[in-house]
Amino acid sequence: MRDTYVHKGKRKQLIDYLHQKIGITDSFVLGAMNEVPRHLFIESVFEDYAYEDRAFPIAAKQTISHPSTVAEQTELLEVNEGEKILEIGTGCGYQTAVLIQMKALVYTIERQKDLYNFSTKILRELNLRPKFQSFGDGFAGLPTFAPFDKVLVTCGAEILPTELLKQLKVGGKMVIPLGKTDEQVLYRFTKISETQFEKEEFGVYKFVPMLQNKSF
């Protein structure tokens, strides 16, 4: 896999931008993103722009998120080494790779077959392997492997998926965009008890919609 000094230099510039301009302060997040070659997760036609703070189209009419969005969501998740993290929406696998680079135990679900196939291949080639990778319905989560320390939803849900909250440990956190338009509000839910949650709001973002059922 091609990851040259030019790529690494551009990646370092991106990390500096995320820290200085976006305000990301978690060195664990920044360090992980500095190690993951984002250009390998997008089409080669976009390679020269891979380390700009831009989203790009990927398979199945989806997008790879802006690096700033990945950094902000990951920072909100407050990842610790060895934690079990449920990721809803593997996409091309870039966010997954960042979490794995942070030494989290990642359980990830993707409903689009083309993206599931692509992400499985690229993560294997980079030797960044999730604990479990599934082609399935993200609304259902992975109850067999629950409970999870953290849940990260990388697509915008119209309604709060309560099944995912059930699969969260007490004390755990879920970061999720919620909204019925092409713009959603990013929330963090902290599970206080089996029936109580603290909700925090972190501004407006644009995510692809969270949809039910597999798509072949």
Cα 154–chain centre separation = 5
In angstroms, the CA 207 to CA 191 distance is 24
Query: What residues act catalytically?
Result: 65
How would you class 164 by CB atoms within 10 Å of its CB: exposed for 0-12, middle for 13-18, buried for 19 or more? buried
Q: Decide if 28 contacts 35 (C-beta within 8 A).
A: no
Q: Decide if 176 contacts 210 (C-beta within 8 A).
A: no
49 phi, psi to nearest 5 deg: -110, 10
